[in-house]
């Protein structure tokens, strides 16, 4: 009887270690497939927004297409069709429209 109890306790210790290993592997998979790509995408978008310059054709979060006429520290002024100018936060710009057209539309 004591042998059976000792064997069951040894089996439980091993399963505890395998549970920890499985949790570490799951966290690693989440990092590789979800967190890391999102961080990379955010870094690319930040670099894109910092590199904006006058003359770039851009698309805003709201879908407004325009050409940048001036760049300030945290804002841009774009000229849209019809000669209207808009002042927007840099965070409202999501994509370079000229580059988007060269790639053949949506990704």
pLDDT tier, 102 (very low <50, low <70, confident <90, very high otherwise)? low
Residue 63 lies in a domain: yes
Predicted TM-score (pTM) of this structure: 0.64
| Contact partners, residue 94, CB within 8 Å, separation at least 6 | 45, 59, 60, 61
- Regarding whether 44 and 83 lie in a shared domain, the answer is no
What CATH number is associated with residue 60?
A: 2.30.30.30
Residue 74 lies in a domain: yes
Q: pLDDT tens, 15-55?
A: 778 889 999 999 999 999 999 999 999 999 999 989 899 98
Find the domain containing 29 and state its range: 1-51
Rounded distance between C-alpha atoms, residue 73 and residue 30, angstroms: 36
Residue 9, phi then psi, degrees to nearest 5? -70, -40
Q: pLDDT tens, 73-101?
A: 889 999 999 989 999 999 999 887 766 55
Q: In 3-state terms, what secondary structure has residue 33? A: helix
pLDDT tier, 70 (very low <50, low <70, confident <90, very high otherwise)? very high
């Amino acid at each position: 009887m004591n042998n059976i109890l000792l064997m069951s306790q040894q089996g439980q210790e091993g399963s505890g270690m395998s549970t920890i290993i499985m949790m570490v592997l799951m966290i690693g998979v989440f990092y590789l497939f979800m967190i890391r790509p999102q961080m990379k995408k955010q870094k690319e978008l930040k670099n894109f927004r910092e590199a904006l310059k006058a003359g770039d054709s851009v698309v805003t979060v709201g879908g407004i297409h325009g050409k940048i006429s001036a760049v300030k520290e945290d804002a841009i002024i774009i000229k849209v069709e019809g000669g209207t100018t808009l002042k927007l936060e840099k965070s409202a710009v999501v994509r370079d429209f000229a580059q988007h057209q060269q790639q053949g539309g949506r990704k």
